[in-house]
């Protein structure tokens, strides 16, 4: 049978999974169906998105067609990668992209029923789709960890154990740990009416990280590096209106109020609506985009008619533009454009209370973090060294 070598690697700064095999038109046809499949003519291999469900997708795609040989780079982190990978994006403090499907299928029939009951409860209470997926997968991870125990047999000690034996050894973040505790707490509170005493579980001390911010010149370099009009407009909306990724992708053409020069953000984080001002430049850019692309349901539609644009694709657009712009800063994500919007408004003298409203922050404490990164405030500080 044909053989395919599978290896996790970094390709042009992106985490990818390489597939190496002798030329075969049938295998090539299968590879093309995998998410983000690309051919590297220089390296002579196919590579796909390194997603939480990537290995499962590869196995299913080539079942009965080829033998898969996984390199050590895949084996070492395979269990963790199939469970969780962090993506700093708005929605949850640190949204966790998880594929619950593979984990749930490994649970007992009772465990699968518990997860389904939990998922339906969240959906009936109108939790965002991202939260439903995240919390379902978190609880699936917990139940897989404690197996063969069933959920009703667990104690608070099991939640302490998953922190000590799974989360900490694998270097998962404080945010991931908090989300695990929150997901399990909600699961037991709603499905089992608090069989576990979550009050015994201590949460990690919060981190106080400053947001990573770009200068106006750097933002311009990023936007100027994007040739595709649709891609450029989406990135411009994140920066020009301070939107979260999910908010951009949920926009409808009717959300643009030309008369009042406002953009309506519907049911954003916390199920809140808000209005954001649109500059003349932004309105002109949107008008040109609508004229050329003629969007139907969503302002930024996906490949399938009536669908939204893919969140991961928008992240990749930013990453590609960021690298092309040659900016030498670490840990800058798409959400950094929103951070930069807030910081630049503050530097221009906009009142912090207005910025809180524009960003849709529930608490002013969230917005106050931008006071720590404004250049103007820092430049006014005189070092005592100058008086020596």
The catalytic residue positions are: 244, 269, 335, 338, 361, 370
Q: Cα dist. 97→49, 356, 366 in Å?
A: 13, 27, 23
Question: Could you tell me the end-to-end alpha-carbon distance of the chain, in angstroms, rounded to an integer?
Answer: 77
The two beta strands, 262-265 and 38-40, are unpaired
Contact 235, 337 (CB under 8 A): yes
d(CA 232, CA 223): 6
d(CA 88, CA 212): 12
d(CA 216, CA 221): 9
Under DSSP, is residue 146 helix (H, G, I), strand (E, B) or coil?
Answer: helix
d(CA 65, CA 81): 24
Contact 317, 231 (CB under 8 A): yes
Structure tokens at 251: 């926009």
Determine if the peptide bond prior to 122 is cis (ω within 30°).
no
Strand extents, DSSP E, 283-370: none
Contact 320, 198 (CB under 8 A): no
Contact 234, 256 (CB under 8 A): no
Question: What element of type H or E holds 250?
Answer: helix 245-250
Strand extents, DSSP E, the chain: 2-11, 14-20, 38-40, 45-49, 66-70, 85-86, 96-97, 256-257, 262-265, 274-277
């Amino acid at each position: 049978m044909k053989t395919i070598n599978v290896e996790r690697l970094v390709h042009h700064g992106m985490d990818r999974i390489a597939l190496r095999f002798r030329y075969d038109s049938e295998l090539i046809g299968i590879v093309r169906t995998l998410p983000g499949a690309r051919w590297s003519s220089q390296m002579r291999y196919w590579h796909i998105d390194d997603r939480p469900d990537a290995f499962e997708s590869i196995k299913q795609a080539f079942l009965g067609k080829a033998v898969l040989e996984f390199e050590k780079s895949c084996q070492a982190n395979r269990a963790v990668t199939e469970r969780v990978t962090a993506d700093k994006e708005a929605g949850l403090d640190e949204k966790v992209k998880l594929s619950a499907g593979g984990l749930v299928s490994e649970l007992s029939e009772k465990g699968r029923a518990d997860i389904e009951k939990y998922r339906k409860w969240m959906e009936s209470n109108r939790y965002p789709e991202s939260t439903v997926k995240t919390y379902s997968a978190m609880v699936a991870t917990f139940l897989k960890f404690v197996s063969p125990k069933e959920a009703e047999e667990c104690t608070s000690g099991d939640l302490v154990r998953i922190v000590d034996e799974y989360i900490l050894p694998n270097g998962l973040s404080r945010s991931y740990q908090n989300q695990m505790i929150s997901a399990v707490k909600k699961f037991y509170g709603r499905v089992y009416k608090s069989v576990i005493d979550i009050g015994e579980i201590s949460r990690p001390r919060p981190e106080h990280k400053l947001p990573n911010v770009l200068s106006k010149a750097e933002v311009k370099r990023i936007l100027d590096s994007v040739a595709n009009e649709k891609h450029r407009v989406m990135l411009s909306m994140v920066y020009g209106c301070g939107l979260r990724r999910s908010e951009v992708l949920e926009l409808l053409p009717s959300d643009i109020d030309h008369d009042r020069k406002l953009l309506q953000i519907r049911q954003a984080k916390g199920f809140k609506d808000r209005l954001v001002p649109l500059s003349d430049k932004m309105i002109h850019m949107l008008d040109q985009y609508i004229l050329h692309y003629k969007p139907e349901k969503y302002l930024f539609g996906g490949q399938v008619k009536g669908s939204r644009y893919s969140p991961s694709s928008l992240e990749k657009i930013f990453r590609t533009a960021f690298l092309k712009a040659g900016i030498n800063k670490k840990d800058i994500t798409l959400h950094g454009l929103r951070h930069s919007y807030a910081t630049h408004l503050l530097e221009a003298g906009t009142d912090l209370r207005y910025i809180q409203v524009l960003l849709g922050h529930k608490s002013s404490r969230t917005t106050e973090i931008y006071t720590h990164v404004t250049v103007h405030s820092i430049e006014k500080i005189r070092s005592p060294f100058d008086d020596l």
